[in-house]
Structure 1
Amino acid sequence: MDPLDRLAEPGLDLLRRVDALLAAGVPEGHRVWPLLRRMQVLPGDAVRGFLDLHPTPLASAGHAVRRLVRGYDDVSATLTDPVLWAGPAATAYGQERAALLHHLDDGPESLVGRLESTAGYADALADWVEGSRLALARTLADVLRSAEAVAVVAATAAGPPRRIEPVGPGVADAAEIAARVLAVLSVAYDGVETLLRQWAPSLAESTWRPTVSGRPRYDQPTRVGW
């Protein structure tokens, strides 16, 4: 359990009250408006969705992908074993074997390279989730002890409001809390979009690159063992 998990219950209770006040209207020109338009969600729903993100499954996925590399290493070692034969068939086989080795483990565009990139991407996402959860936890801790939180609780103490003017009690305070929460989530989502752009080229499909040699010849003997 991390700090965000520990703050989830009181934080969601406060944000439920914030959402109820915001549903009645938001003061015109308030800084929360651009954030609401961009996020297309009220802060309570936004935080509830974010609570389901945890770094551990992503980090575990990265470790699992890296374990697959050992299997490719074994195959590559088998393909590099010397073969005691010579002739056109041996030459054709050698060319295909070299192409397969190149495809398996030769640079970032090989299968192993893509596996390592996938594992790195999972690690980067895990770090993003961990850092974003910590930033959101800090913001929730700040708003929970703020004067705005006191005003919001007081305005909603009698239950969900039926009709509140945008300038009514607690509305401006709810808008301020919403702005602070949505701002940190907006930064978090900017971060993950940046990660996707950075890693996308390394996560592309590994394309098979066949040999470019001519057709095999059959006018010479093949010698096996010597």
Structure 2
Amino acid sequence: MSRIRGTLAALAALLLPLGMAAPAADAAGGAVAAPVLAPVYTHVDTEDPVLFITIDDGWGTESAAGARKLLIDRRVPASLFLLPGAYQRDMDYYRTLLAHSPARVENHTVSHRDMTTLTAAEQRAEICGARDQQLSAFGDSPQLFRPAGGQDHQWPYYNDDTRTAATACGAKAVVTWTHDLTTWGSWTPPTPELNRGDIVLLHMGPQLEGDLKRVLAAADAAGLRPARLREYAHAAR
């Protein structure tokens, strides 16, 4: 046992000057694996002429029939970061969208709580709980996780516990965004020049159809096409 501890101590002495972490030791002297933190994407580095359209929350489907038709007609591979309480109110809307378009549902927690205010166990319950409900509802497990914004809108909306919980709950990456182009009330944010790899955030609701048209027009002008984010987030590191 003392020989194992001595070996770990010697390894730590060699690694620390290089800025590397030595393996931790448990009470019995055995190595303990470090937590696996999911990578975080605000943008995807890619040479492909693509961008990524993401849609959050899921409330307001009763006034978003035009948005669903547009997503289906244009075959937009949107990433839908939905709350169980939202999609469960209108399962027909989302099942029709998923059946007739390349859109896919991803993880946005159970209850839209600010991850940075929660314990590690509470974060895991939020993320794994949403995963389990989504699998039951759609037969498809989410592969990406987006943390919900905090009430004070202080960035970032995640911490290392979030990234560890995301990995433990099956997410391959934590996803934020490059541009929030959601229209809120009478205010429409200016549309920037879009670049390949940009992640665009929109929200479900009556404004979604207009926001989608604006973003798709900007993508066309920039020579970009929407792509499925889960495929690129898996490949890029």
* Pairwise TM-score range, normalised by the shorter structure: under 0.3
Greater helix share, 1 or 2? 1
**Higher gyration radius (CA):** 1
Greater strand share, 1 or 2? 2
TM-score normalised by length of structure 2: 0.23
TM-score normalised by length of structure 1: 0.24
Q: Which has the higher contact order (CA 8 A, sep 6+)?
A: 1
